[in-house]
Amino acid sequence: MRDLSVRNQSEMKDSNIRQIIRTVLQQGPVSRSELCRLTGLTPPAVSGLTKILLEDGILTELGPVNGKREGAGRPPSLLKVAGKSHAAIGVEIGVSRLRMGTVNLLGKLLDTEVVEISSKTTVDDVIHRSVAFYRRQEAKLAAQGTRIVGIGVAVTGLVDTDSGISRFAPNLGWRNVNVKDLLVQQLGSPVIVDNNVRLMALGEEWFGRARNSGSIILVQVGYGVGCGIVLPKLGLLQGSFNGAGEFGHCTILPGGPMCSCGKRGCLEALISERAIVGTYLQRSLSAPNSALPVPPENLTVNIIVRLAADGDEVAQSVLREAAAFLGIGLANLVNIIQPTQIVFSGNAFALSPTTRGWIEESTYAHCFDQPKFKFSNATFRNYQGVVGAATAILEKELL
Ligand SMILES: [Zn+2]
């Protein structure tokens, strides 16, 4: 009985400490009395716990700030998250690149490293590179008094987050790779492995421009199409079997083109990099007087978006169609989830002002309610997955 009560007390303390860090991170700088109001904790509890966090270097005191008086006394001293005490490593295993980065407690990307990979890159290569980056960063940051709390890994495809197994990553040719075990064996540190787009949404919610916005849908459009959903009070949606967010495999055009998943008419089969380039090539080559600006094998969606902006009618019609399909998918998500933000990440189809206007137009046209959400671009661009992966481990260990 006694052990249980001691454990409950320490769990409660741990949960209160996390609540204080979270609140200061999201609302800070704040005074101790504001912290009492925001967390519902008593003044002695806030005073005791903030003392521990100041000693640990997680919080820092700004000193009395004029103009922020509470009552008649002197201005209160404000607290904010220091950022320097802890950091985490984030790794994103992409289609052609392995991106690695160190992210501090304020969501700031410190060091980064990018390695080109291909279908020939083995699991061992990826693990070896990640471990080497971790060790180098660990040594460098230790000298500055910063402790690395663990490593998060963002992988495309189906990931069993509980076990840290990449169940199926078609672009890497991985099936049932226990990424978590391999890293834990070598590092002995906390490891989280999750789907890359889900993690991108998590990073945006904690540290991006869409932070504190309540509910966001982050949509990634590139070689694949996926989404990450963050909901108020629930956080990042994993799904009952870790498969939530497979937006790309929602049927948008029954009987449409064949998808990599074996079904027809999925959103991904209509708007992925390969789908848009394929449709453009097909139509452009059969159009009279067509002249491709680059050899067909070098054509990308980014080039097609530029052609559309320069007045290429085939490019415009292909992208308009793709935008119409994406808008239908987004409106379905909006009707079901009612987000406050839709955040885009990926190639120029999702990010350029021209195509974005068409995507927004189609989304509005298919929404049931008056649209109240905002559209925005993901904050960390090419490092969105890296920041998200590091955020997952910061959240698990400290937030
Ligand atoms: Zn599919």
pLDDT tens string 96-118: 899 999 999 999 999 999 999 98
* Same-domain status, 180 and 232: no
**Do 158 and 77 belong together in one domain?**
no
Closest Cα to residue 123, out of 162, 161, 180? 180
Helix (H) or strand (E) holding 93: strand 86-93
248 Cα–ligand 1 center, Å: 6
| pLDDT average, residue stretch 86-101 | 95
Distance 310 CA to ligand 1 centre (A): 32
The pLDDT value recorded for residue 41 is 95
Q: Please say whether the beta carbons of 383 and 112 come within 8 A.
A: yes
Both tokens of 180, joined, read: 């978590």
**How much distance in Å is there from the Cα of 385 to the middle of ligand 1?**
22
Tell me how far the alpha carbon of residue 93 lies from the centroid of ligand 1, in angstroms.
21
- Alpha carbon of 266 to ligand 1 centroid (Å): 5
Distance 249 CA to ligand 1 centre (A): 4
Instruction: State the CB neighbour count (10 A cutoff) for residue 325.
Output: 20
Region 174-191: mean pLDDT is 96
Give the three-class secondary structure for 395: helix
| Confidence category of residue 184, pLDDT binned at 50, 70, 90 | very high
Question: Ligand 1 mean position to 163 CA, how many Å?
Answer: 25
Q: How far does the centroid of ligand 1 lie from the alpha carbon of residue 104, in Å?
A: 36
Instruction: Say yes or no: 298 and 355 in one domain.
Output: yes
Distance from the alpha carbon of residue 268 to the mean position of ligand 1, in angstroms: 6
Share of the chain above pLDDT 70, in %: 95
Which pLDDT tens digit goes with each residue over 271-311? Answer: 999 999 999 999 998 877 777 888 989 999 999 999 999 99
The SS3 of residue 387 is helix
CA of 388 to the centre of ligand 1 (A): 25
Residue 168 Cα to ligand 1 middle (Å): 14
Residues of the chain above pLDDT 90, percent: 78
In the prediction, which pLDDT does 119 show?
79
pLDDT in tens, 253-265: 999 999 988 999 9
Whole-number Å distance, alpha carbon 161 to ligand 1 midpoint, is 21
pLDDT at 70 over 60: no
243 C-alpha to ligand 1 centroid (Å): 13
Same domain, 254 and 368: yes
> What's the domain count of the chain?
3
Are 34 and 98 part of one and the same domain?
no
CATH number, domain with residue 109: 3.30.420.40
- Whole-number pLDDT of residue 76: 83
Ligand 1 centre distance from Cα of residue 171 (Å): 14
Residues 120 and 134 in one domain: yes
Q: Are both 223 and 365 inside the same structural domain?
A: yes
Instruction: Give the structural domain span for 306.
Output: 216-378
Domain CATH number, residue 46: 1.10.10.10
Question: Sorting pLDDT into bands at 50, 70 and 90, what band is 161?
Answer: very high
DSSP designation for 382: G
Which pLDDT value is given to residue 279?
97
- The reply to whether 68 and 122 lie within a common domain is no
Q: What's the pLDDT at 1?
A: 38
Q: How far is the CA of 5 from the centre of ligand 1 (A)?
A: 51
**Same domain? 177 vs 253:** no
- Are 11 and 131 within one domain? no
Distance 246 CA to ligand 1 centre (A): 9
Q: What angle do CA 150, 153, 155 make, to 5 degrees?
A: 170
Cα–Cα distance measured from residue 203 to residue 218, given in angstroms and rounded to the nearest whole number: 10
Average pLDDT over residues 334-346: 96
Q: Is pLDDT at 242 greater than 70 in this prediction?
A: yes
Residue 221 CA, ligand 1 centroid: distance in Å? 14
Please check whether residue 201 is in contact with residue 216, taking contact to mean a CB–CB distance below 8 angstroms: yes
Q: What is the pLDDT of residues 350-378, one digit of tens each?
A: 999 999 999 999 999 999 988 899 999 99
* Region 149-163 average pLDDT: 94
Distance (Å) from CA 83 to ligand 1 centroid: 41
Beta bridge partners of residue 154, listed in sequence order: 92, 194
Distance CA 49, CA 235 (A): 25
Is the pLDDT confidence value at 5 over 60? no
CA neighbor of 378 nearest in space, from 78, 101, 141, 107: 107
The predicted model gives 218-241 an average pLDDT of: 93
pLDDT at position 233 over 90: no
Q: How far is the CA of 120 from the centre of ligand 1 (A)?
A: 25
Q: How far is the CA of 337 from the centre of ligand 1 (A)?
A: 21
Residue 3 CA, ligand 1 centroid: distance in Å: 51
| Residues contacting 80, CB < 8 A, separation 6+ | 24, 28, 29, 30, 59, 60, 62
Query: Is the pLDDT confidence value at 13 over 90?
Result: no
Task: Say how many Å lie between the CA of residue 102 and the centre of ligand 1.
Answer: 34
What is the 289 CA–ligand 1 centroid distance (Å)? 35
Q: Is the pLDDT of residue 342 over 80?
A: yes
235 Cα–ligand 1 center, Å:
26
- 7 and 62 co-located in one domain: yes
Q: Which helix (H) or strand (E) holds 52?
A: helix 43-55
Kindly give the distance from the C-alpha atom of residue 178 to the centroid of ligand 1, in angstroms, as a whole number.
Answer: 25
Q: Which of 47, 81, 115 is the last residue of a domain?
A: 81
Q: Is residue 238 located within the same domain as residue 368?
A: yes
Q: What is the pLDDT of residue 71?
A: 57
